[in-house]
Each structure stands twice: as structure tokens, then as C-alpha cells.
Amino acid sequence: MATAHQVDARDGSVVPLAVDTLCLHSDTAGADRLAIRVRAALDAAGATVRAIVRPESQQTAPEGSTALRVPLNAAALRPAFAGASVVVHLAGVVESVRAGGYAAVNVTGTEAVARAAREAGARLVHISSLAAAGPAPATAPRSEDLPPNPITDYGRSKLAGERAVAEVEGLDWTILRPGAVYGPGDRALLPDRKSTRLNSSHIPLSRMPSSA
């Protein structure tokens, strides 16, 4: 059994996390990149990783993981999670032409994962998004004490997913809100970051008025 560490978002404490078998639930491109890195870190710690994706997903399991293709509902996920100490829920819809297009995975799907994790006796680490919190006020950085104020349909769906997790009675959970995730293999955010870097020398600057 390996031991990793995590920050408990509810009180800020660093707690040991005993991991023997861990389920990574991911089936989107961004989640897949995260899954590869999470799997590598846990593999180095000696954990056994089981990757779970939906049957229709085009994503493949991270190298070295046991792959299971399971529908996104609690009844199907429960046996897939059996024996796991921890379930890391990474899957999410980040782009949709309809506001309601986010809910099937980000809310309903997240609740299914949470209920299945509880029934399997596993701790749930739910990867949400900073979009669930919304932007910081102009006067100070955002803190966890500020009420969430998401401004996009995606952010509102991620907040609803967080609340669905918190409402599952008897579940041991931690929710994390990363910012933008980009890197090798990314076709959405990385090109924008490269463009910003290449054009950084051309940012227009306004002339300050003379004090004389």
C-alpha cells in the first residue's frame, strides 16, 4: 500500500492518503492529460491505478493502467470502483453549443460517480474548476470564503456538480478547483498561450500624462 498526501479543502490541513487501488475516471482530452500525470505520480508511489472511461469515449487509458469502459451511471460504476481506496473524478464537458449540454456529465454524471464511490467505500477526489468560483473581485484575489459567482454556463455546471457531491450523504470527499489546464496535446488553450507569448512584445502601452 502506498501513501500519498493531499490538502483537505475543507480545513486546509495536509492529510495522509493511503492508496492501494485508485480509479481514475476520465474521458475528455483535458482530463486525459491530467490523468496521465496523476497516474504517473501514483505509480511512482506504488499505487495500482484503474482507468475508467465511457464506452463511447475516444480516449485511451493512461499507459500502465488497467482500462475499464463503463457507462456514466451509478449502477454500472459501483462494481468498477469495487476495491478502490480512492476515486479521482476528472471527466467533464468543457465545450457545448447548448447551456444544458454541460449538465449530463458535469452534474448528473458527477452525482453518479459520487454515489458509486460512496457505495464502494472509496474516498472521492473531485476535480472541479476555478470557473465554479467565478472571477475574483477587482480589489483582491479570490478566497474560499467568498461566495461562488460563476459567470459561464460551464462554471455554473461545475458548481452544481460540486454541490451534488456535497449532498451525497456518507461520502468522504475532497473537491479541487484547478485553473486552466494546458500543455502538450492541447488543441484549445495551448495555441492561445503560444500566441500570447509570441506577440507579447507587441502589447500596446498608453502614454502616461505628464506631471509637469
**Residues noted as catalytic:** 154
Find the helix packing angle between 110-120 and 74-81, rounded to 10°. Answer: 40
Closest CA to 26 of 65, 53, 58: 53
Cα(first)–Cα(last) distance of the chain, in Å? Answer: 71
Tabulate helix, strand, coil % of the chain (nearest 5).
35, 20, 45
Task: DSSP for 61-76, please give it.
Answer: PPTTSEEEE--SSHHH
**Could you count the other beta carbons within 10 Å of the beta carbon of residue 78?**
17
